[in-house]
C-alpha cells in the first residue's frame, strides 16, 4: 500500500466538509486514528476501508491506488455525458408523446408554425453566410489569390456551421418553450381538475368535464385521448390561424374532389356487380368475381366515408372501419384466388372461325394498282385471270369499307367498323360462359387471287408507293428543319440589327458633340 491512500482520504474528507472528529465518530474510531491514516503512519483495517468506500461511493482500488481527483473528474464527465444523452432522448420522447396526443388540426397548426420559423431561420442563415463571405473577401483581399480563396472558404464554412448550430439551438428552445413546457403545465392542470371531477356527481360528470376543458383551453377526448391546444397566447398567432384555415380549406376542397371520383368508382363497381351475373355459368370464376366486387365496394365505401367525415368534421367509428377494411381485404384476396383457379379451366383460342366471314370483291387491274394496307395480313394466290379477285376475312359483326385511289394513286384502302356492338358483346359473354377466351380483333386478312405478272406488279407498286412516301416524309423533315434554321438566323440578324442601331445612335451623339466643339473653336 502506498501513500496514495492518505492523500485520497485527506482530499475527500475536506471535499465533504468533514473534520477528523466527525469522520472518526462515523467510522467508530478515534480522531488520532484518522490523523495517522492521513499522515501515512498507519493504515485502517479492511472493514474500515470498506466502510470508507461505502460512505464516499468509491471502490477499493480507486481509494487505495488512484488519484481520487482524476477519478472524480472522469465520473463527472460520464455523468454529464449520460445526462446529455438522457435529456436528448427525453426531448424526443416528449415530442413523440405530444404529437401522438394532439388532434389533427393542432398537428397541422404546429407543423405550419415550425415551417414558418424554419423559413425565417433559413433567410437569416443565408443572409449571415453571404454577408460574412463578402466581409471576409474584402478583409483578405491583400493576400495572394489561392491563399485568400482557401482561407475565405474555410472561414465561411466555419461561420455557416456556427450559424446553423445557433439557429438550431434557438429553434429547439422555441419549440420546447412554446409546446413541450406548456403541454406539461396543461397536463398537470387538467390532472388536478380531473381529480376534482372524479369526486363530483356521476350524472354531472360530462358537463363539468366540458366546462373545465374550455376553461383550461385544452380538450382530452374521452376515447382518443387527443388534445386540442386552444390558448391563443401560447399556441397560435392570428396570421398562423388564418393560414391554417386556408390550408385546411384547400385540403378539404381536394378531398371533396377526390370524393366525387370515389363516388364514380363506387357506381362503376355497382354496375360491375350487376353485370357479373351475365357470366354466372363460369362457376368459380363467377363466385370469385362476385366476391372481389363486393369486397371492393365495401373498401371504397370506407374510403368515401373517411373523406366525407374529414370534409364535414365528423367522427369516424375507427374500430368498425378497421375491422370492415381488414375483412374486406381478406375477402378480396379470396376472390382473386377463386378467379385465378376458375381461369385454369378456360380455353384460350387465337381465332374462332364461327366469328369470321368472307367478303369477296373484284377489282380492275390498273398500271398503279396496289393494296395500301399497313398492318393487315396479305396473302397472294396465283390464278389464271386478268383482273384481281380479293377475299376479305373479317369479324362477322364488322362491316367492310373500301376506297379506290385516283389515277395517280391507285391504292386500295380497306378498313372495318363494328355495326352491331350489342351482338358482339353477347357473343363475348357467350364465349366466357362456355369457358372460352377468344380475342376480338378488327384486323382484316386479305387473300388476293391474280396472275403471276399482276401479283408482281401489285407488290412492286406497293413497295414503290411506300418508298416514295418515305422519301416525301424525309423531304418534309428536311425542309421543316431548314425552316427552323432560317427562322433562327432571322432572329440573330434582328438582334444584330438592334445592336447596330444602338451603335449608330451612339456615333450620332458623338458626331453631334464633336460638331459643337468645332463650332465653339470657330466662335473663339
Give yes or no: residues 309 and 357 share one domain.
no
| Measured distance CA(405)–CA(413) in Å, rounded | 8
**Domain extent at residue 265:** 239-345
Please compute the mean of the pLDDT values over residues 376-393 and round it to a whole number: 84
Give yes or no: residues 188 and 112 share one domain.
yes
Q: Read off φ and ψ for residue 448, nearest 5 degrees.
A: -105, 125
Angle at 488 between CA 486 and CA 492, to 5 degrees: 115
For residue 330, pLDDT beyond 60: yes
Give yes or no: residues 340 and 359 share one domain.
no
Mean of the per-residue pLDDT values for the chain?
78
Give yes or no: residues 340 and 444 share one domain.
no
Give yes or no: residues 108 and 10 share one domain.
no
Cell of 204: 354531472
Q: Are strands 377-382 and 445-450 parallel, antiparallel or unpaired?
A: parallel
pLDDT for the residue numbered 244: 64
pLDDT for the residue numbered 232: 44
Task: Look at residue 522 and tell me if it is in a domain.
Answer: no
What's the domain count of the chain? 4
Please compute the mean of the pLDDT values over residues 356-377 and round it to a whole number: 78
Cell of 190: 387538467
* Most confident of the ranges 195-199, 265-269, 391-395, 417-421: 265-269
| Measured distance CA(79)–CA(72) in Å, rounded | 10
Give yes or no: residues 361 and 326 share one domain.
no
The domain boundary residue, chosen from 464, 496, 517: 464
pLDDT band at 346 (very low <50, low <70, confident <90, very high): confident
Weakest mean pLDDT among 57-66, 138-147, 422-431: 57-66
Q: Which residue stretches of 176-280 are H helix?
A: 182-199, 205-216, 238-275
Give yes or no: residues 53 and 111 share one domain.
no
Give yes or no: residues 111 and 201 share one domain.
yes
* Most confident of the ranges 180-189, 342-351, 477-486: 477-486
* Most confident of the ranges 45-49, 144-148, 496-500: 496-500
Task: Write down the residue that cell numbers 407488290 correspond to.
Answer: 459
Task: Look at residue 205 and tell me if it is in a domain.
Answer: yes
Per-residue pLDDT reduced to its tens digit, 251-307? 888 888 899 999 999 999 999 999 989 888 888 889 999 999 999 999 999 999 999
Burial bucket for residue 196 (CB in 10 Å: 0-12, 13-18, 19+): exposed
Give yes or no: residues 141 and 211 share one domain.
yes
Strand partners, 392: 359, 446
pLDDT for the residue numbered 230: 44
Task: Look at residue 520 and tell me if it is in a domain.
Answer: no
Task: Write down the residue that cell numbers 366469328 correspond to.
Answer: 355
| Measured distance CA(390)–CA(371) in Å, rounded | 11
Task: Look at residue 517 and tell me if it is in a domain.
Answer: no
For residue 333, pLDDT beyond 90: yes
Task: Look at residue 78 and tell me if it is in a domain.
Answer: no
Cell of 522: 470657330
Whole-angstrom Cα Rg for the chain = 46
For residue 386, pLDDT beyond 50: yes
Higher pLDDT, 88 or 240: 88
pLDDT band at 66 (very low <50, low <70, confident <90, very high): low
Give yes or no: residues 330 and 359 share one domain.
no
Q: Which residue stretches of 176-218 are H helix?
A: 182-199, 205-216
Question: Domain with 52 in it: what CATH number?
Answer: 1.10.260.40
Task: Look at residue 259 and tell me if it is in a domain.
Answer: yes
The domain boundary residue, chosen from 314, 345, 376: 345
Give yes or no: residues 330 and 361 share one domain.
no
| Measured distance CA(410)–CA(370) in Å, rounded | 7
Task: Look at residue 166 and tell me if it is in a domain.
Answer: yes
* Most confident of the ranges 141-155, 172-186, 398-412, 436-450: 436-450
The domain boundary residue, chosen from 345, 364, 385: 345
Strand partners, 379: 447
Give yes or no: residues 303 and 203 share one domain.
no
Weakest mean pLDDT among 51-60, 220-229, 425-434: 220-229
Weakest mean pLDDT among 231-245, 288-302, 420-434: 231-245
| Measured distance CA(403)–CA(307) in Å, rounded | 55
Whole-structure pTM over 0.75, yes or no? no
pLDDT band at 72 (very low <50, low <70, confident <90, very high): low
DSSP 3-state assignment of 249? helix
Task: Look at residue 95 and tell me if it is in a domain.
Answer: no
For residue 177, pLDDT beyond 60: yes
DSSP state for residue 195 in the 8-state scheme = H
pLDDT for the residue numbered 92: 82
Taking the C-alpha atoms of 116, 121, 127 and 128 in order, what is their torsion angle to the nearest 10 degrees? Answer: 170
pLDDT for the residue numbered 61: 67
For residue 116, pLDDT beyond 60: yes
Q: Are strands 356-363 and 411-418 parallel, antiparallel or unpaired?
A: unpaired
Strand partners, 391: 360, 447
59 in the Ramachandran plot: left (φ > 0), alpha (ψ -120 to 50) or beta?
beta
Cell of 33: 486514528
Amino acid at each position: 500500500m502506498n501513500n496514495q491512500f492518505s492523500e485520497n482520504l485527506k482530499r475527500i474528507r475536506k471535499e465533504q466538509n468533514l473534520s477528523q472528529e466527525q469522520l472518526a465518530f462515523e467510522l467508530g474510531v478515534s480522531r488520532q486514528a484518522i490523523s495517522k491514516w492521513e499522515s501515512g503512519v498507519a493504515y485502517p483495517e479492511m472493514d474500515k476501508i470498506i466502510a470508507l468506500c461505502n460512505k464516499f461511493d468509491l471502490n477499493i482500488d480507486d481509494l487505495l491506488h488512484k488519484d481520487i481527483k482524476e477519478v472524480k473528474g472522469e465520473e463527472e464527465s460520464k455523468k454529464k455525458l449520460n445526462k446529455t444523452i438522457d435529456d436528448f432522448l427525453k426531448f424526443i420522447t416528449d415530442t413523440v408523446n405530444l404529437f401522438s396526443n394532439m388532434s389533427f388540426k393542432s398537428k397541422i397548426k404546429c407543423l405550419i408554425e415550425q415551417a414558418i420559423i424554419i423559413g425565417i431561420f433559413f433567410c437569416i442563415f443565408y443572409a449571415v453566410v453571404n454577408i460574412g463571405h463578402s466581409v471576409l473577401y474584402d478583409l483578405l483581399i491583400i493576400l495572394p489569390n489561392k491563399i485568400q480563396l482557401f482561407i475565405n472558404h474555410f472561414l465561411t464554412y466555419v461561420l455557416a456551421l456556427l450559424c446553423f448550430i445557433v439557429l438550431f439551438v434557438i429553434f429547439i428552445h422555441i419549440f420546447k418553450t412554446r409546446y413541450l413546457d406548456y403541454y406539461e403545465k396543461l397536463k398537470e392542470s387538467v390532472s388536478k381538475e380531473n381529480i376534482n371531477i372524479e369526486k363530483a356527481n356521476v350524472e354531472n360528470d360530462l358537463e363539468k368535464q366540458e366546462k373545465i376543458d374550455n376553461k383550461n383551453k385544452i380538450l382530452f377526448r374521452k376515447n382518443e385521448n387527443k388534445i386540442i391546444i386552444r390558448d391563443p397566447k401560447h399556441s397560435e398567432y392570428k396570421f398562423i390561424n388564418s393560414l391554417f384555415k386556408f390550408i385546411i380549406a384547400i385540403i378539404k376542397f381536394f378531398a371533396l374532389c377526390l370524393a366525387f371520383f370515389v363516388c364514380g368508382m363506387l357506381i362503376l363497381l355497382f354496375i360491375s356487380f350487376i353485370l357479373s351475373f351475365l357470366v354466372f355459368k363460369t362457376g368459380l370464376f363467377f363466385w370469385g368475381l362476385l366476391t372481389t366486387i363486393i369486397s371492393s365496394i365495401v373498401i371504397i365505401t370506407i374510403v368515401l366515408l373517411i373523406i366525407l367525415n374529414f370534409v364535414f368534421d365528423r367522427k369516424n367509428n375507427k374500430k368498425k372501419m378497421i375491422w370492415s377494411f381488414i375483412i374486406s381485404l381478406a375477402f378480396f384476396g379470396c376472390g382473386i384466388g377463386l378467379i385465378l383457379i376458375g381461369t385454369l379451366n378456360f380455353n384460350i383460342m387465337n381465332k374462332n372461325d364461327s366469328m369470321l366471314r368472307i367478303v369477296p370483291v373484284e377489282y380492275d387491274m390498273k398500271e398503279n394498282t396496289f393494296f395500301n394496307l399497313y398492318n393487315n395480313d396479305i396473302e397472294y394466290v396465283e390464278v389464271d385471270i386478268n383482273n384481281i379477285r380479293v377475299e376479305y376475312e373479317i369479324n362477322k359483326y364488322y362491316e367492310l369499307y373500301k376506297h379506290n385511289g385516283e389515277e395517280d394513286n391507285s391504292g386500295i384502302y380497306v378498313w372495318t367498323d363494328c355495326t352491331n356492338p350489342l351482338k358482339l358483346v353477347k357473343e363475348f359473354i357467350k364465349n366466357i360462359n362456355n369457358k372460352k377466351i377468344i380475342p376480338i380483333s378488327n384486323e382484316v386478312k386479305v387473300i388476293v387471287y391474280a396472275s403471276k405478272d399482276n401479283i408482281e406488279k401489285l407488290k412492286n407498286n406497293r413497295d414503290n408507293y411506300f418508298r416514295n412516301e418515305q422519301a416525301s416524309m424525309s423531304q418534309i423533315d428536311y425542309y421543316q428543319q431548314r425552316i427552323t434554321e432560317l427562322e433562327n438566323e432571322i432572329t440573330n440578324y434582328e438582334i444584330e440589327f438592334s445592336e447596330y442601331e444602338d451603335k449608330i445612335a451612339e456615333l450620332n451623339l458623338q458626331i453631334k458633340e464633336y460638331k459643337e466643339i468645332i463650332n465653339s473653336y470657330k466662335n473663339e
